[in-house]
């Protein structure tokens, strides 16, 4: 309906503002985008798949925030299915399917089928089992999920309560949930979608000589079983199985995270995935074969993917914040004397910069470490296939520490960006409501961010113990090298100064991060190995060690990229990336100053000048901010943010969403408290809404 | 439907676990609860209103997370209206209505009517205007809202774009939105509910001698107008007004935050609230009268309320986290040698304690400061009514700095608690999904948390300038006293040590917080007044000053409560509260260590022993944690959290929510990608969900 607002314009033109920002920097956006995202033809796949999905009405994101959680699952399933059908028509491969998930930007009810279910069958199924299951899986004839976590146990997999008891007479397993807390819980795709599940259960085998008595069974730890859970025709749970969706959560509205219990449910012997372990028909004993480290490899891969994804999710929030804060104006400069002065862009306030620009720098820090992890993973994979498991521990430790650090940086960064955008940051037009809620799962899943830092610390203590005893052995990896260097130099350490009067010592920056990590490793080693302190008492210290070690990886890897960026990028870009390096590093150093002074990494007095150095670096970075986020190449369709639109039409879009696309505005209400009618003229006395409670 | 899961029990009994926790502490919960919450009969009102609301089906919180945002507004309006009807029947007064809002725990569509609308008419309406409007308002015959913030301006009220132009011929105002960004935006209760609005607009009066030409008008700044916006019968917007709801946001689902534009909309002269300013019929000039500081008073009151509310919202999150983490077990002690050892309660891990227990301590820090603000507000109010505005600046500064600090502590604290609860913290059973999303508005509303710290710094710079010039004048308030002490002692400051080998110096703790605040004030004064640095360049430093100053208030006020708690509370409680004081203070000191060493407040070397002291304090506090949260007396009905239930039936409730109360489990889906049917057997080809996009 036309009205007088149709031709109103915002006070300032956002499009012109962003154009002026872009004109003020000579960064070549296309070159930088290619530098960041050309691996595996990412940018081309993005263009290709975006064109297809953005033309399908089913994938319109417009009304998502107006749907109820049950509706979001309906929509999620409809989209998951449509992606398969579209992919067949378009001839998509794995790369395009993955891109479709990324652009669709919600957890697919098929997600676990495509990830843990297929991976587990492929990695842990015998050849026979793979021959039987893989065609059905790849064809999506069955839909699978991965049922490991339970109501009572997540992190501690050895504590799982579900049992799989071997019946030596019938040669079957009996899967059972002895407690309520044995209920499988959180398992994605299981609530309403899956027909099959990998069920991880404690394998119970009769003790030698015994046949039936419960007391005579012994647990051989968690093992994976492939189990049909729903009828192929009716999609109802099979007898002896209770399964459903656990209900609304913070995010993941489209995903049917589920619960499942078993009542002495019997499955054939072939249900147990038997590439690495099999129960003997004759003896009832467990025969193990092969190296179980492959399971770690799979977890490491998932963590690696989360690390690589962190840069893109943080880049999204930073893109929105940088663009909006370049357009948003509020207050004149307090010292302004001319009435003609315009209000300042809020990105020109240091109090806004200090929240957004270090995060902009962090996206690049995350980038180079993500790429490093990708390479390390594939290199390790190759050596493992040659039977050499030597690199696995380093990879596992790095992936644990970085998963913890990077997801925390990204999750906290999203919220920091949101708050920096003031009132509109709280609105649906921020584009961060769903992103934020979904991403908040990441600090918890695949190893809780605090819990897994113990694995890093444990590894580093082991490495330090080895280094202390073998000071001159040839180093096997960068950690050995660092620890040997530390041990040889700790007696005569000179604390460094990293920034002085606008001069930066990049090599010293790397040194202080490495030194601090090494020193904290030594302290942990000393407390645990020499003083024999209880592990639990040390846990906070160990957590801080993991963080320091992982920060050292980010800083070192970023520094190591200089050679590559200097040769492959032109104009001001290599210099601007160096500014990002310094800003990320100095911001981190400032935030954890006492850890750097405690470890003799930096000179205590040099800490106090960091805030001026950080201000200077932000001033250097500021003119390039819009072009730097442009380089991350997040399509408007994915951003789904009025504030972050690449054309700067922030206010036009916010208004359009409110005035023309908000379904609540199509209803007229009765505000009179004396009446129990809610919709004016409906006379329903509120029964409609009461029925939903 | 009965099934085999009906009689399953969790592996560990949560009720017995919580009972054992309670038995292990001799804190008298009822006494502490009264100490905290007896003002104005809070606890009695809570009991009374809880009994009524929890028996009404309309107020069941059970399915809230399954409703769409439009449905949440329907429900919110139904509840707002029902509360009025119930209140009449029950004979409720203001206290009970406020309690009903607190327990109902969602933003009421009537909220702005009850707060800013009535307050503005009462404080800024002339006697005649009050006589006309107040009866209609108090009777809810009209529903009002407060339309100040616009699409383009929030913090900078002077920058508002809506105009109210005086027509000297017709003696009317013409309210107009010249730009899209002039649209009123965010204004609560306006989107669908309100019939009337206070519209804040730039008052344009003809320049002397002029009559009509636009260029001849001059702005006299923002003024409030009371304007009917919707028809009393049809509830449709009046001609020349476009008004609606802005759509989904982070939280506030039940609230109709709105937008509104005017097309040369004419209102009578009487629309302008004229207690302090009136346009003269004859001359067209603005006559101002009285002291506009009363407007500040009202903003200060709102900020004060936010500060007092912060303790209760944080207490909610901490209650949930403490109870759940006392019940949740995961992993045996890594150094355990006995197979009989049970898994540890996660609250016994220092890595969980360090996230939750300092926040538990913070609830009490927030408490004493909230009470102090309450008293300061009422004392200031009294002196203002005697015509003495001398205390207002101190109150305004304290309320700004504390609003910023306390809402940040609470908002971040909720999320910290949530993450500390691992997987279940991400679930709907945490009870934090709605709380978190709603509360995230608080760091932004009523003065953005970063923006308003400038007001604090500005005040402190003024005070320090005065102190420097008047070193021996009698101090007018604690700030004067502190600044004079600082200036007299800065030449011979001896940095303090606050904790040494398990001994704490509480007086020294207060001293270092005060010294740091004074020193940072001096640095800000020096940079701005002596060195004349640009304000904008100083903004981060000024923000940090405000934080330090506000932290000093929290610490000082907590310390000052010792006398009262020592005499009014028995058993271990006064000692435990002292532990809370130390934990809050030392945790804060540790987190901002370099600010304390920079200012010579503490001896640099003493920083490194803080982490051991914090560990010790947490060990002291741990046995009392459950009883301390019990004392906050948050009813289960308000907590609405499976994890936080006072009876410890965490797992039973999570399972019940999923298995028996999740509507998604009543629908059977078609997971086959080849079919576009979503609900199995419906044959609707996904049309149902497509229609919603």
User: What are the pLDDT digits (tens) for B561-579?
Assistant: 999 999 999 999 999 999 9
Classify the phi-psi angles of B683: left when phi > 0, otherwise alpha if psi is within -120 to 50, otherwise beta: left
**Interchain contact, A423 vs B536, CB within 8 Å:** no
pLDDT at A215: 63
- Taking the CA of residue A564 and the nearest CA in chain B, the distance in Å comes to 35
CA distance A588 to B587: 19
> Any CB–CB contact under 8 A between A668 and chain B?
yes
Residue with tokens 């500014």: A579
Residue A239 has pLDDT above 70, yes or no: yes
The token pair that represents B165 in the structure block: 């132009």
ipTM score of the complex? 0.97
Query: In terms of C-beta density within 10 A (0-12 exposed, 13-18 middle, 19 or more buried), how is residue A337 classed?
Result: exposed
The CA-CA-CA angle for residues B526, B529, B534, to 5°, reads 100
Residue with tokens 């009970």: B96
The partner residue sitting opposite B443, judged by closest CB among A256, A349, A419, is A419
Q: Which residues of B touch A63 (CB under 8 A)?
A: 692-693
Q: What is the CATH number of domain B114-290?
A: 2.40.110.10
CA distance B44 to B31: 14
Element (H, E) at A174: strand A172-176
> Any CB–CB contact under 8 A between B664 and chain A?
yes
Q: What is the mean pLDDT of chain A?
A: 95
pLDDT at B382: 87
The band of B213, judged by pLDDT with boundaries at 50, 70 and 90, is low
> Any CB–CB contact under 8 A between B336 and chain A?
no
Residue B484 has pLDDT above 90, yes or no: yes
> Any CB–CB contact under 8 A between B686 and chain A?
yes
**Interchain contact, A667 vs B192, CB within 8 Å:** yes
> Any CB–CB contact under 8 A between B263 and chain A?
yes
Q: What is the pLDDT of residues A495-541, one digit of tens each?
A: 999 998 889 999 999 999 999 999 999 999 999 999 999 999 999 99
> Any CB–CB contact under 8 A between A6 and chain B?
no
DSSP string, A316-355: HHHHHHHHHHHH-B-S--TT---TTPPPPBGGGSHHHHHH
Q: Which residues of A touch B667 (CB under 8 A)?
A: 70, 192
pLDDT at A501: 86
Q: Quick one: average pLDDT of A380-386?
A: 84
The partner residue sitting opposite B419, judged by closest CB among A344, A443, A678, is A443
**Interchain contact, A156 vs B70, CB within 8 Å:** no
**Interchain contact, B422 vs A444, CB within 8 Å:** yes
Q: Which of A63, A250, A329 to mutate to test the interface with B (most CBs of B within 10 A)?
A: A250
Helix (H, G, I), strand (E, B) or coil at A217: strand
Of residues B40, B30, B141, B137, the one with CA closest to residue B96: B40
Element (H, E) at A187: strand A184-187
> Any CB–CB contact under 8 A between A691 and chain B?
no
The band of A631, judged by pLDDT with boundaries at 50, 70 and 90, is very high
Catalytic-role residue among B216, B446, B620, B677: B446
Neighbours of A488 (CB within 10 A): 12
**Interchain contact, B58 vs A690, CB within 8 Å:** yes
Q: Which residues of A touch B449 (CB under 8 A)?
A: 419
CATH architecture of structural domain B296-333+342-630: Up-down Bundle (1.20)
The token pair that represents B186 in the structure block: 């965010």
> Any CB–CB contact under 8 A between B180 and chain A?
yes
Per DSSP (E only), the strands in A303-450 are none
> Any CB–CB contact under 8 A between A142 and chain B?
no
Burial B657-681 (b: 16+ CB within 10 A, else e): bbbeebebbeeebbbbbeebbbbbe
Of residues B258, B74, B599, the one with CA closest to residue A691: B74
Q: Which residues of A touch B422 (CB under 8 A)?
A: 154-155, 444, 448, 451
CA distance A369 to A557: 6
CA distance B510 to B552: 7
Of residues A618, A584, A50, A630, the one with CA closest to residue A315: A630
pLDDT at B93: 96
Q: Quick one: average pLDDT of B661-676?
A: 97
Phi, psi of B602 (to 5 degrees): -120, 160
CATH class of A296-630: mainly alpha
- Report the residue of chain B nearest A58, measured CA to CA: B690
Q: Quick one: average pLDDT of B133-145?
A: 98
Query: In terms of C-beta density within 10 A (0-12 exposed, 13-18 middle, 19 or more buried), how is residue B375 classed?
Result: exposed
Instruction: Give the residue ranges of DSSP H helices in B422-530.
Output: 422-426, 433-439, 453-469, 478-489, 506-525
The token pair that represents A1 in the structure block: 């309906």
pLDDT at B209: 64
The token pair that represents A247 in the structure block: 């209900």
**Interchain contact, A664 vs B245, CB within 8 Å:** yes
Of residues B224, B201, B368, B369, the one with CA closest to residue B298: B224
Q: What is the pLDDT of residues A443-473, one digit of tens each?
A: 999 999 999 999 999 999 999 999 999 999 9
Residue B211 has pLDDT above 80, yes or no: no
Q: What is the pLDDT of residues B377-420, one digit of tens each?
A: 899 888 887 888 888 889 999 999 999 999 999 999 999 999 99
CA distance A84 to A87: 5
B179 near B152, Cβ under 8 Å?
yes
Phi, psi of B121 (to 5 degrees): -65, -45
The partner residue sitting opposite B78, judged by closest CB among A84, A180, A689, is A689
A165 near A204, Cβ under 8 Å?
yes
Segment A490-495 long-range contacts (CB within 8 Å, at least 24 positions apart): A490/A519, A490/A522, A493/A600, A495/A597, A495/A600, A495/A601, A495/A602, A495/A603, A495/A604, A495/A606
Phi, psi of B240 (to 5 degrees): 85, 5
Q: What is the mean pLDDT of chain B?
A: 95
Q: Quick one: average pLDDT of A564-583?
A: 96
Q: What is the pLDDT of residues A48-63, one digit of tens each?
A: 999 999 999 999 999 9
pLDDT at B296: 62
Q: Which residues of A touch B540 (CB under 8 A)?
A: 350-351, 354, 611, 615
CA distance A438 to A423: 21
pLDDT at B501: 87
pLDDT at B210: 60
A422 is an annotated ligand-binding site residue: no
Residue ranges covered by each domain of chain B = 114-290, 296-333+342-630, 669-693
Burial B30-52 (b: 16+ CB within 10 A, else e): eebbbbbbeeeebbebbeebbeb
SS (H, E, C) A472-520: CCCCCCHHHHHHHHHHHHHHHCCCECCEECCEECHHHHHHHHHHHHHHH
B188 is an annotated ligand-binding site residue: yes
Q: Quick one: average pLDDT of B442-447?
A: 93
CA distance A303 to A314: 17
The band of B294, judged by pLDDT with boundaries at 50, 70 and 90, is low
Residues in chain B: 693
**Interchain contact, B161 vs A11, CB within 8 Å:** yes
Output the CA torsion B81→B85→B91→B97 (10° steps). Answer: -10
**Interchain contact, A331 vs B156, CB within 8 Å:** yes
Q: Quick one: average pLDDT of B211-223?
A: 79
pLDDT at A295: 62
> Any CB–CB contact under 8 A between B213 and chain A?
no
Beta-carbon-side half-sphere exposure of residue A434 (alpha carbons within 13 Å): 23
Residue B212 has pLDDT above 70, yes or no: no
Interface of B with A in 402-421 (CB under 8 A): 415, 418-420
């Amino acid at each position: 309906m036309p009205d007088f607002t149709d031709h109103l314009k915002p006070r300032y033109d956002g499009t012109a503002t962003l154009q002026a920002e872009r004109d003020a920097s000579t960064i070549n956006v296309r070159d930088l985008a290619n530098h960041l995202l050309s691996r595996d033809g990412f940018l081309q796949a993005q263009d290709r798949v975006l064109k297809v999905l953005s033309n399908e009405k089913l994938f319109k994101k417009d009304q998502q925030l107006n749907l109820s959680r049950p509706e979001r699952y309906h929509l999620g399933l409809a989209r998951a299915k449509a992606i398969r059908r579209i992919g067949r028509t378009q001839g998509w491969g794995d790369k395009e399917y993955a891109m479709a998930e990324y652009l669709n930007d919600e957890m697919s009810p098929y997600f676990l089928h495509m990830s843990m279910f297929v991976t587990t069958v492929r990695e842990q199924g015998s050849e026979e089992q793979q021959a039987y299951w893989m065609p059905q899986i790849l064809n999506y004839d069955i839909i699978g999920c991965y049922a490991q976590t339970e109501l009572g146990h997540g992190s501690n997999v050895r504590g799982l309560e579900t049992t799989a008891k071997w019946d030596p007479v019938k040669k079957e397993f009996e899967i059972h949930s002895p407690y309520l807390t044995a209920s499988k819980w959180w398992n994605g795709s299981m609530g309403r979608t899956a027909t099959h599940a990998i069920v991880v259960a404690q394998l119970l085998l009769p003790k030698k000589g015994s046949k039936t008595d419960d007391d005579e069974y012994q647990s051989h730890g968690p093992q994976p079983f492939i189990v049909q859970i729903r009828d192929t025709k009716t999609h109802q749970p099979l007898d002896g199985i209770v399964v459903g969706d656990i209900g609304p959560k913070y995010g993941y509205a489209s995903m049917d995270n589920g619960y499942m219990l078993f009542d002495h449910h019997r499955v054939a012997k072939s249900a147990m995935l038997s590439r690495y372990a099999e129960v003997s028909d004759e003896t009832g004993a467990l025969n193990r074969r092969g190296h179980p480290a492959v399971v770690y490899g799979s977890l490491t891969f998932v963590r690696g993917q989360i690390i690589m994804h962190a840069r893109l999710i943080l880049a999204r929030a930073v893109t929105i914040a940088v663009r909006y804060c370049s357009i948003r104006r509020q207050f004149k400069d307090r010292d302004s004397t001319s009435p003609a002065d315009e209000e300042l862009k809020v990105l020109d306030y240091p109090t806004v910069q200090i929240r957004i620009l270090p995060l902009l720098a962090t996206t690049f820090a995350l980038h180079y470490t993500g790429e490093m992890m990708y390479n390390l993973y594939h290199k390790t994979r190759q050596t493992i296939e040659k039977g050499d498991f030597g690199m696995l521990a380093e990879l596992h430790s790095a992936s644990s520490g970085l998963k913890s650090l990077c997801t925390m940086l990204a999750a906290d960064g999203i919220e920091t960006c949101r708050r920096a955008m003031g009132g509109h940051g709280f609105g649906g037009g921020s584009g961060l409501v769903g992103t934020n809620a979904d991403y908040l799962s990441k600090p918890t899943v695949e190893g809780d961010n605090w819990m897994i830092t113990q694995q890093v610390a444990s590894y580093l203590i082991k490495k330090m113990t080895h280094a202390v005893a073998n000071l001159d052995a040839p180093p096997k990896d960068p950690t050995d090298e660092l620890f040997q260097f530390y041990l040889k130099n700790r007696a005569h350490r000179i604390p460094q100064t990293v920034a002085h009067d606008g001069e930066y010592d990049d090599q010293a920056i790397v040194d202080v991060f490495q030194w601090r990590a090494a020193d904290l490793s030594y302290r942990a080693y000393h407390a645990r190995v020499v003083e024999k302190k209880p592990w639990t008492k040390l846990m906070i210290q160990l957590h801080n060690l993991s963080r320091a070690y992982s920060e050292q990886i980010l800083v070192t890897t970023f520094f190591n990229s200089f050679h590559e960026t200097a040769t492959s990028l032109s104009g001001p870009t290599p210099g601007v990336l160096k500014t990002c390096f310094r800003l990320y590093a100095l911001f981190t150093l400032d935030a954890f100053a006492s850890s750097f002074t405690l470890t003799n990494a930096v000179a205590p007095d040099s800490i106090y000048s960091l805030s001026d150095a950080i201000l200077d670096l932000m001033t250097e970075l500021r003119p390039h901010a819009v072009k730097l986020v442009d380089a991350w190449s997040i399509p408007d369709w994915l951003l789904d943010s009025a504030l972050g639109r690449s054309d700067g039409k922030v206010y036009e879009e916010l208004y359009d969403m409110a005035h023309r696309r908000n379904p609540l505005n199509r209803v007229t209400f009765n505000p009179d408290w004396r009446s129990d009618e809610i919709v004016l003229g409906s006379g329903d006395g509120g029964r409609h809404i009461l029925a939903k409670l």
